[in-house]
C-alpha cells in the first residue's frame, strides 16, 4: 500500500513535465541557431569593413611610394601624404590618456567595490555610468573653453595641446574602466575574501593579493575597452589638440605641443576630398 508521502505523480503532472521537456527541445535549437547566426553576422560585417578599407586604401600605392607615406610631412595640397606625424600624435594623446585613466579608474573601482559603504555605491555607480553618455562634442567644447586656457596659464605655449586631449580622453574612458572593473571585482566569490581574512591577511592585502588577481581577466577587458574608446575618439580631440600636423619635438614638453590625430584628420578632410582621388585613398 502506497502512503501519501510517496504517492506517484499523477498523469497530468507527467503530461506537464513532458510538455516542458518538449517545449525546451524545440526552443533551444532555435535560440542556439539565432545566437550562431548573430555571431557569424558580426564576423562577416567586420570582414566586409576590412575588405572595404583595403579596397579603398591600396590604390594609394599606385601614385604614392611607401617612403612618402611613412614620412612626417602631411600637406595634401602639395601631394605630400606622410602620416608619421599623425601616427605619433595619436600615440602621444592615447598614451597620456592611458597614464591618467588606468590608475585612477582602477583605484576608483576598488574603492566602490571593496571599501565604499553600500549607500555610496548606490549613488556613485549610476552617476559614473551616466557620465559615459555625455556627447564627445560637449566634452570637447568644455576642454576648449575651460581646460585649454587653464593649461596655458600654467605655462604651456598654447592651451590646445596633446595633454589637453589626453585629459579629455581620460575623462571619457574612466566610466568604462570603472564600471567594468567594479563588475569584475564584484564577481569574485565571497569565499576568497573570507578565506584571506581568516588566515590573518589585512583588508588591503586581501584586495591587492587576492581579489585583484582573481579579477584580472575582467580588469584587462576594462582597460582594453577604455583604450579603444580613447583611440577611436574624434570630435573632442579635434577641438582641443591644436590640429597641427607636425612631428612633435622630443623632450619633457612633448605632451604640451599641438598635435593632430589620425581620426581628427579623417573627420576634418574627408568631406572635402574628391572620391577616387589620391587624397581620398590615403585617408
pLDDT in tens, 39-93: 899 999 999 999 988 888 888 888 877 777 777 778 877 777 778 888 888 899 9
Name the residue with cell 585613398.
Answer: 281
Instruction: State whether 114 and 189 are in the same domain.
Output: yes
Instruction: State whether 82 and 176 are in the same domain.
Output: yes
Q: Residue 104: its pLDDT value, please? A: 93
Residue 2 pLDDT exceeds 60: no
In degrees and rounded to multiples of 5, residue 75 shows phi and psi of -150, 80
Q: Give the pLDDT confidence of 110-131 residue by residue, as tens digits.
A: 998 888 888 888 888 888 888 8
- Binned at pLDDT 50, 70 and 90, residue 19 comes out as very low
Q: Residue 24: its pLDDT value, please? A: 60
Instruction: State whether 240 and 176 are in the same domain.
Output: yes
Instruction: State whether 45 and 96 are in the same domain.
Output: no
Query: Which CATH number characterizes residue 225's domain?
Result: 1.10.3720.10
Nearest CA-CA partner of 95 in 246, 266, 261, 263? 261
| Listed residues 46, 62, 78: the one ending a domain | 62
Distance CA 241, CA 134 (A): 20
Instruction: State whether 41 and 73 are in the same domain.
Output: no
| Listed residues 62, 94, 110: the one ending a domain | 62
Q: Which domain holds residue 128?
A: 66-282
Taking a C-beta distance cutoff of 8 angstroms, is the pair 241, 164 a contact?
yes
Residue 231 pLDDT exceeds 90: no
Tally the domains of the chain.
Answer: 2
| Region of poorest pLDDT, from 14-23, 42-51, 200-209 | 14-23
Instruction: State whether 76 and 58 are in the same domain.
Output: no
Instruction: State whether 57 and 29 are in the same domain.
Output: yes
Instruction: State whether 125 and 194 are in the same domain.
Output: yes
Instruction: State whether 97 and 204 are in the same domain.
Output: yes
Instruction: State whether 37 and 87 are in the same domain.
Output: no
Nearest CA-CA partner of 86 in 101, 76, 97? 76
pTM above 0.95, yes or no: no
Instruction: State whether 9 and 130 are in the same domain.
Output: no
Amino acid at each position: 500500500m502506497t502512503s501519501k508521502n510517496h504517492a506517484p505523480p499523477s498523469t497530468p503532472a507527467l503530461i506537464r513535465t513532458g510538455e516542458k521537456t518538449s517545449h525546451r527541445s524545440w526552443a533551444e535549437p532555435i535560440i542556439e541557431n539565432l545566437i550562431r547566426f548573430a555571431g557569424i553576422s558580426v564576423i562577416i560585417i567586420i570582414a566586409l569593413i576590412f575588405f572595404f578599407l583595403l579596397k579603398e586604401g591600396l590604390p594609394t600605392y599606385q601614385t604614392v611610394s611607401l617612403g612618402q607615406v611613412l614620412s612626417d610631412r602631411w600637406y595634401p595640397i602639395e601631394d605630400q601624404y606622410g602620416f608619421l606625424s599623425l601616427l605619433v600624435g595619436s600615440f602621444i594623446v592615447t598614451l597620456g590618456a592611458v597614464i591618467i585613466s588606468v590608475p585612477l579608474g582602477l583605484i576608483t573601482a576598488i574603492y566602490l567595490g571593496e571599501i565604499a559603504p553600500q549607500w555610496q555605491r548606490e549613488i556613485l555607480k549610476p552617476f559614473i555610468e551616466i557620465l559615459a553618455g555625455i556627447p564627445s562634442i560637449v566634452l570637447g567644447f568644455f576642454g576648449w573653453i575651460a581646460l585649454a586656457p587653464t593649461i596655458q596659464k600654467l605655462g604651456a605655449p598654447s592651451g590646445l595641446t596633446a595633454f589637453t586631449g589626453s585629459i579629455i580622453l581620460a575623462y571619457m574612458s574612466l566610466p568604462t574602466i570603472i564600471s567594468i572593473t567594479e563588475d569584475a571585482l564584484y564577481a569574485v566569490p565571497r569565499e576568497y575574501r573570507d578565506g584571506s581574512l581568516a588566515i590573518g591577511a589585512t583588508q588591503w592585502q586581501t584586495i591587492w593579493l587576492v581579489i585583484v588577481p582573481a579579477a584580472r581577466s575582467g580588469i584587462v577587458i576594462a582597460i582594453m575597452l577604455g583604450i579603444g574608446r580613447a583611440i577611436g575618439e574624434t570630435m573632442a580631440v579635434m577641438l582641443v589638440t591644436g590640429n597641427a600636423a607636425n612631428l612633435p619635438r622630443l623632450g619633457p614638453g612633448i605632451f604640451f605641443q599641438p598635435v593632430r590625430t589620425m581620426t581628427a584628420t579623417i573627420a576634418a578632410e574627408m568631406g572635402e576630398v574628391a572620391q577616387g582621388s589620391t587624397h581620398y585613398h590615403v585617408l
